[in-house]
Structure 1
């Protein structure tokens, strides 16, 4: 079990805080909006009203002892940056921030944010990829060049094994999981797995390599 502070209880921050708590972690949720705090009071370990632009508020709440922090709003760039700086001063091991745009992301990275996310932007890009190719059942972008694709096993692969196909060498992708027709999932599948009709595969590779797999259909 780890301890986290989530600052900003809009839709994104509330979802992060609630899910972390559901996963068994201790979560301190903070916002300046009393109504937002009240909505989260029964869903996290502790929810408080506070202005995290003030370093003394963070000190008083014991934030320096947290394993991780999430700055979960991006509407006010200046406030986001100041709070991130305050968290860096407390030596929080991991700080994740939500960014409004690319410039905001660059500033957050330069002042020491360990991870910067664009929830709406990333969701939109992933959805666009699934809409643009009907063979893609799901897409998770890892970087601008690399991603994980969930798709039906290509017809030419049916009846063959991973060893037969030598997928990693031939296609420059890794098959990180296989879901059979009954829904069972094999993480890190064995080389002797025989592909069957109805199998779903999860490929990890760069965009060009993933595209080559999709073209097999």
Structure 2
């Protein structure tokens, strides 16, 4: 059975989620208090409505209790974000993802039962910072406050060497979980795997260890 989604707050972040879910053929109920924003998504979402998400009766009448996963993407109004999350939890929504403005906001959201909390601006800032350090860093995904996954394009320092030669796990405490060779991907590569120029290594580890790895094997490749 196809899952249903609700997106509350149709700013840049919420709007992007709404578009992508709709593009994938998902059933999406989009909500915002701004009529212009709602009108923008009337032809994109399954349904787009003008409403105040802090109005419990409105959420009930719109059927939010029957939606599988609600994304609260409210912009700068932290009070509205918290109250909306609380009301959705009380309605029994199965899964709630909320955009947090700061760490204080996150702590409150954790206490009132948000299932997943995201910091899109902070996380994008980290990705951009790593790509600025080296153009070989293709992507950077935070798993927790201390651990991340990074995609790194192999440069001169890695070219022609095996994973055993580089000894990444022993030297840096990171694990190479996959290597992309063009369109092919080798998951859990063996120690004798040879790295070619511009292969993409997918590495998981503690942020401090990934940072050491980048500085020693990646940064000077530009």
Please state which band the TM-score falls in when normalised by the shorter chain.
0.7 to 0.9
Gap runs ≥5 in structure 2: none
Q: Is the partner of 1:12 in helix, strand or coil?
A: helix
Q: CA separation in 1, counterparts of 2:153 and 2:54?
A: 49
Matched, 1:59 2:60: yes
Which residue matches 2:46?
A: 45
Q: CA separation in 2, counterparts of 1:83 and 1:107?
A: 12
**Residue 150 of structure 1: CA displacement?**
1.9
Gap runs ≥5 in structure 1: none
Q: Conserved in 2, the CA contact under 8 Å of 1:147 and 1:205?
A: yes
Q: Is the partner of 2:139 in helix, strand or coil?
A: strand
Q: CA separation in 1, counterparts of 2:121 and 2:109?
A: 18
Runs (4 or more) in structure 1 with deviation over 6 Å come to none
Matched, 1:184 2:183: yes
Q: TM-score, with normalisation over the residues of structure 2?
A: 0.85
1:41–1:210 distance in 2 versus 1, CA, 3 Å = same
Which residue matches 2:6?
A: 5
Matched, 1:110 2:120: no
CA deviation profile, 1:63-98 (whole Å, cap 9, x unmatched) = 111111111013112111111111001111211111
Within a 5 Å distance, the mapping from 1:185-200 to structure 2 comes to: 185-186=184-185, 188-191=187-190, 193-200=193-200
Which residue matches 1:208?
A: 208
**Residue 159 of structure 1: CA displacement?**
3.8
Alpha carbon RMSD of aligned pairs, Å? Answer: 2.2
Q: Conserved in 2, the CA contact under 8 Å of 1:126 and 1:141?
A: no
Which residue matches 2:69?
A: 68
**Which stretch has the larger CA shift, 204-213 or 83-92?**
204-213
**Residue 143 of structure 1: CA displacement?**
2.5
**Residue 154 of structure 1: CA displacement?**
5.5
Q: TM-score, with normalisation over the residues of structure 1?
A: 0.87
Aligned residues: 215
Q: Conserved in 2, the CA contact under 8 Å of 1:177 and 1:185?
A: no
Q: Conserved in 2, the CA contact under 8 Å of 1:139 and 1:148?
A: yes
Within a 5 Å distance, the mapping from 1:30-179 to structure 2 comes to: 30-153=31-154, 155=156, 157-162=158-163, 167-169=168-170, 171-179=172-180
